[in-house]
Structure 1
């Protein structure tokens, strides 16, 4: 090939083909990615079944000669092909076909076809079978044919070739030292070769239920990489520097405890002490505070903020929705402002001069606590001296948002002795030469009202310290949950009429705001109109996410103040709404909600002394998953039991939220079924990190690649 003339423009790179783009979308970028792209199922192309021995409904492979190929124009246009192998003929029926089909299936051609045989009007037939031209001596496949997860623009033939090439090229040498892998498991290369090309005699049942030793080897390797990543992240964080934060005698913490209109529960005291001990260390805290709905996490967060402020540092609290952020703001301002503290409020709805005032207060340190939504991680938001970040409902934030918050929080101060770190805000400027040059990182407290089952905490949250509030404050009324079909709707409305007549308030939750062609669901607007007609002498409000913030705030103020008897809402009220007088919750189309979301919504009632009821209205027929969810809701109010059942029903995605960033971090292992492998991986990870650090790093890179960052978010 001749070289381009001097001065000629550089040739443009060729555009990527559709299969290449599809491969990238599936994350198949490296040879190891292809090697680990395992089949969904297998087809047996290792044998030929005579046509007259094929059983109806079973996928089989037959071979014969085409004796007839014609286009039938009667009724629906279709291609009919007759195949004979010396016995009973087989009719191949193609409703969708191209001219190339007729050429490949011309009379006299010998073809091999695969599909399900059924009995039609003209005898045995296959509809839209796979087919290929063969000769008398064309060999059969020597292994089961893999069928891979794919997409419309990525044909199986293309993917099979790519995977086979990636499997040949991938570096699959044994990284783990001898004696580490559980006995009787194959090498990684042996396991992958077997799973991509199992021999005809392989037991399909052990491949499909992932119990085969080849599958066990992959699961163990994957769990080990995940545990290594988590434990390495924990060790790396222990090397970082953070301000040592301690409560001061007669300071904000003592004054807050004295001013609170209630006493802390034993569980609240215990977790507050755990957090305070972490904050006093010169390494950044990375702790998850979990507790059931209504267990009192906000006051624990307030005490953590008070410790931070006592030490002369700022605290930021970030919540996923403006309604939740505002609930925190109202509680915290009521507790902390009388103590002389300044609290800034920063959300997307704060504009103009008011926004600039808040930005200035955060930047110059006059605001000791900043509360807001994801607006607090915008580029323009600067902090004078940020010591603690609290993220509420952390699973509802995306990976990018959580990582951006962690990076944004670096103070830029150099680390120094703990006694130099506590300086009052607004006083002398912190020194830039405090000992080592490592910048200080803030402490991080994440909160979740979705309790995390132990198996999940051991896996995805292995790098976190976990504090659990395992008791509810006194005075919380029990919640009775009832499940009704939508046909009972008039009875439910009658129950609402009785409740509001006695002075109680009611939530009615709908899954949609306006009509959808895809889902035939009653929407919030229609339900609001229906209830307004049914209760003409009562105030019925409407609340949804598309309303302007000022309107939402006005509606919530009316409902919280008791001026509104019924609130029709979407899931914007899922968390953070606290109205003790609300004693009835109706959740419409409950089968459309996840189990943890149903539990969160139910937690909006039962906050006062009156016994409360949650009604789950469903539209049948219910799937098995839908039945399991509603049964769980009716049987227990225990958030930890709800979480355990949710993990059984839906897997870890519900709890992980966006930490997965759209890609499952555990593709092969199952947290329940593979508990022994998980325990082995947890025991082995610290030994590998200590004794074979290079092998540990290679293991994480091989299995997780860039996904390892998601586990640190």
Structure 2
């Protein structure tokens, strides 16, 4: 007898468009819905007499339809006249359905909400929200929330879903007594208030997030974030790393002896902080930050010397080939005379040359490996990787940083990790996104750096700028001219750079003008940079491939075209390419009007200060932490409600409380992180 075939599994019910839209917004759990807070509120709790309406102010009125007709003027319009005891209001609909006309027939009582206009022909509302009511239909008991949504997600659907999620969500107090700052409501009361504020609520306090209910949410969120960072830090502390200690009279001291300059006090201080970390058997996780030109590379070289002296390898990874090559040349100059082998691994190194470098890294013959993302490829093996250095760490994603750490997994060890950034991190940001990092700051520039004067010109003054360049190159100066490069319009921007190169070549007859852009081969880029570095080339027209790492002390004039297109940190990085020698240096920002408010703020900041820490603070003010960090860097926007500038006192309280909560109430701490961050906490472990 033939076997009965198994019944097919029941088909999964297909999801509706609103359900898919909710998932896209991350509204999956009941707690997600409970924490999806309104953007603003509409007041449906009161009725305004028609005669009391004010021009351009939203209001709700109630009246009886006295006339409803379609009028054919320049376009079809539905005109509905509504009357209450105080006066008459005209409702005007430019887009309507026959069902609406039927709904608003004469003698129907309507409740109407919209923005009033008072003109020559009386009071009117255009496309108001209309609801048919009875004489005794009750008013809303609380303000009506308007939620962040999408085109596929109607407000009515979302309001119902949020109300259901709020009712079902487990909002019991997780935190033990005495933890929450005094004067703040319970989490349940805070959320109920914010989703359904009473009519008496201050719209300003709600909108500006100043209400105690908002403070409770911000505190909870900051506490969860601090706890997750502290957990990540403690988990790392349980891991084992090789204890790296240099020998007396060893490589570290030899490097110091051959350097052609004295370290600044700040460089000495941070080098000692790093050396102390490397000597411990727990993995270092340190951020080395310093302004443009503060001398981070030599500190990295000293850290590498300690690791190599202890018999381990070091890898240095940079985001671009030009930056990686700058490091490579400096490190070879300092370390090869001391007998070290430095390997070079990038995407452009192919064939036998690549195989030779891979073998040198795998055998341990290359004590230092410098390169780009290619360093973290599976084919790249290390004999004993003790220290990984990541330059411009914000340019690398979480997965890439993890891949570099995994290079030592076979030995059940973690490499020490030193991350470098020329974009200083404002204190409040360091206390949140980098709470699990030790931060070393080089807050002193090497002597001999010339001050940089920044000047801002409109596009109409471009010819004047070219005249200044002619005078500068005649005097022996070297000049950068930077054209913006935006991915969406790369071909257009490349044409702009090519045209600018042709124009300057014609204007500066007798002086070499070079062109550098992202589409050139690595060999061509290297050849152009070599000419500029040697002084054989007077002007370098470039896209932003020269943003970081390029070091030509004789270059004393930087022109940035379409400066309004650049971010503040990027402008500061570009400006840092000049002022590296003894010559007085100038940075010229050319913009095309009209400027947005953000554009004005950026250019104003550039003209007013050359302090990278102040630039970073202003950049945080302009962009907010999410944009400042970038989603690839932070893994996700980890703070939805708290404002790092305004809520610094709550951040300090959360930071102080986190260790005590983790030590004394570990289960409560874990539930707090799960409630607020869910899977986002994983991003903090890289």
Residue in structure 1 matched with residue 132 of structure 2 by the alignment = 133
Distance across 1 between alignment mates of 2:166 and 2:582: 64
Structure 1 pair 682–563 and aligned structure 2 pair: CA distance change class (3 A):
same
Mapped pair 1:606 → 2:579: yes
Structure 1 pair 513–551 and aligned structure 2 pair: CA distance change class (3 A):
farther
Distance across 1 between alignment mates of 2:356 and 2:195: 62
Structure 1 pair 111–289 and aligned structure 2 pair: CA distance change class (3 A):
same
Distance across 2 between alignment mates of 1:13 and 1:341: 63
Q: How does 1:495-510 map to 2 (within 5 A)?
A: 495-510=468-483
Residue in structure 2 matched with residue 386 of structure 1 by the alignment = 385
Residue in structure 1 matched with residue 541 of structure 2 by the alignment = 568
Distance across 1 between alignment mates of 2:129 and 2:51: 19
| Structure 1: 4+ residue segments shifted above 6 A | 517-522
Residue in structure 1 matched with residue 186 of structure 2 by the alignment = 187
Residue in structure 2 matched with residue 353 of structure 1 by the alignment = 352
Mapped pair 1:235 → 2:234: yes
Distance across 2 between alignment mates of 1:105 and 1:302: 78
Residue in structure 1 matched with residue 650 of structure 2 by the alignment = 677
Structure 1 pair 107–367 and aligned structure 2 pair: CA distance change class (3 A):
farther
Moved more, 73-82 or 491-500: 73-82
Secondary structure, aligned partner of 2:408: coil
Give the deviation of 1:457 after TM superposition: 1.5
Moved more, 247-256 or 55-64: 247-256
Residue in structure 2 matched with residue 430 of structure 1 by the alignment = none
Cα deviation digits, residues 212-266 of structure 1 (max 9, x gap)? 1111111111111111111222211111100001112343223222222222222
Structure 1 pair 146–654 and aligned structure 2 pair: CA distance change class (3 A):
closer
| Kept in 1: contact 2:384–2:408 (CA 8 A) | no
Aligned with 1:411 (options 409, 412, 421): 409
Secondary structure, aligned partner of 1:411: helix
Cα deviation digits, residues 1-60 of structure 1 (max 9, x gap)? xxxx96333233233222222212212121111111111111001112222221110111
Residue in structure 1 matched with residue 527 of structure 2 by the alignment = 554
Mapped pair 1:55 → 2:19: no
| Kept in 2: contact 1:46–1:143 (CA 8 A) | yes
Structure 1 pair 162–235 and aligned structure 2 pair: CA distance change class (3 A):
same
Q: Which runs of 5+ in 1 are unaligned?
A: 414-438
| Kept in 1: contact 2:501–2:541 (CA 8 A) | yes
| Kept in 2: contact 1:659–1:711 (CA 8 A) | no
CA RMSD between the two structures: 2.3
Q: How does 1:91-170 map to 2 (within 5 A)?
A: 91-120=90-119, 122-170=121-169
| Kept in 1: contact 2:237–2:282 (CA 8 A) | yes
Secondary structure, aligned partner of 1:461: coil
Secondary structure, aligned partner of 1:699: helix
Mapped pair 1:634 → 2:633: no
| Kept in 1: contact 2:486–2:493 (CA 8 A) | no
Give the deviation of 1:106 after TM superposition: 4.5
Structure 1 pair 529–11 and aligned structure 2 pair: CA distance change class (3 A):
farther
Structure 1 pair 334–210 and aligned structure 2 pair: CA distance change class (3 A):
same
Cα deviation digits, residues 116-155 of structure 1 (max 9, x gap)? 1113564322222222333333221110001111112111
Cα deviation digits, residues 641-667 of structure 1 (max 9, x gap)? 222222223222354233665642111
| Kept in 2: contact 1:385–1:411 (CA 8 A) | no
Cα deviation digits, residues 369-425 of structure 1 (max 9, x gap)? 11111222223222221111111111122223223333x233321xxxxxxxxxxxx
Distance across 1 between alignment mates of 2:173 and 2:134: 42
Give the deviation of 1:272 after TM superposition: 0.9
Distance across 1 between alignment mates of 2:445 and 2:654: 35
Q: Which runs of 5+ in 2 are unaligned?
A: none
Structure 1 pair 445–85 and aligned structure 2 pair: CA distance change class (3 A):
same
Distance across 1 between alignment mates of 2:580 and 2:429: 29
Moved more, 282-291 or 327-336: 327-336
Q: How does 1:198-347 map to 2 (within 5 A)?
A: 198-347=197-346
Cα deviation digits, residues 551-595 of structure 1 (max 9, x gap)? 322322222222222112222211011111110001122222222
Secondary structure, aligned partner of 1:290: strand
Distance across 1 between alignment mates of 2:105 and 2:398: 56
Give the deviation of 1:103 after TM superposition: 4.5
Give the deviation of 1:75 after TM superposition: 2.2
Residue in structure 2 matched with residue 451 of structure 1 by the alignment = 424
Secondary structure, aligned partner of 2:518: coil
Structure 1 pair 448–65 and aligned structure 2 pair: CA distance change class (3 A):
same
Give the deviation of 1:86 after TM superposition: 5.0
Give the deviation of 1:82 after TM superposition: 3.1
Q: How many residues align?
A: 683
Structure 1 pair 29–619 and aligned structure 2 pair: CA distance change class (3 A):
same
Residue in structure 2 matched with residue 616 of structure 1 by the alignment = 589
Distance across 2 between alignment mates of 1:103 and 1:384: 81
Distance across 2 between alignment mates of 1:486 and 1:272: 45
Structure 1 pair 72–252 and aligned structure 2 pair: CA distance change class (3 A):
farther
Distance across 2 between alignment mates of 1:320 and 1:100: 61
Cα deviation digits, residues 79-101 of structure 1 (max 9, x gap)? 43333335533332333344544
Residue in structure 2 matched with residue 705 of structure 1 by the alignment = 678
Distance across 1 between alignment mates of 2:635 and 2:499: 34
Q: How does 1:33-44 map to 2 (within 5 A)?
A: 33-44=32-43
Distance across 1 between alignment mates of 2:640 and 2:495: 37
Distance across 1 between alignment mates of 2:494 and 2:124: 42
| Kept in 2: contact 1:45–1:61 (CA 8 A) | yes
Residue in structure 2 matched with residue 416 of structure 1 by the alignment = none
| Kept in 1: contact 2:395–2:633 (CA 8 A) | no
| Kept in 2: contact 1:480–1:613 (CA 8 A) | yes
Residue in structure 2 matched with residue 82 of structure 1 by the alignment = 81
Structure 1 pair 12–351 and aligned structure 2 pair: CA distance change class (3 A):
farther
Secondary structure, aligned partner of 1:388: strand
| Kept in 1: contact 2:635–2:683 (CA 8 A) | no
Give the deviation of 1:613 after TM superposition: 0.3
Give the deviation of 1:535 after TM superposition: 1.8
Secondary structure, aligned partner of 2:410: coil
What is the TM-score when the length of structure 1 is the normalising length? 0.91
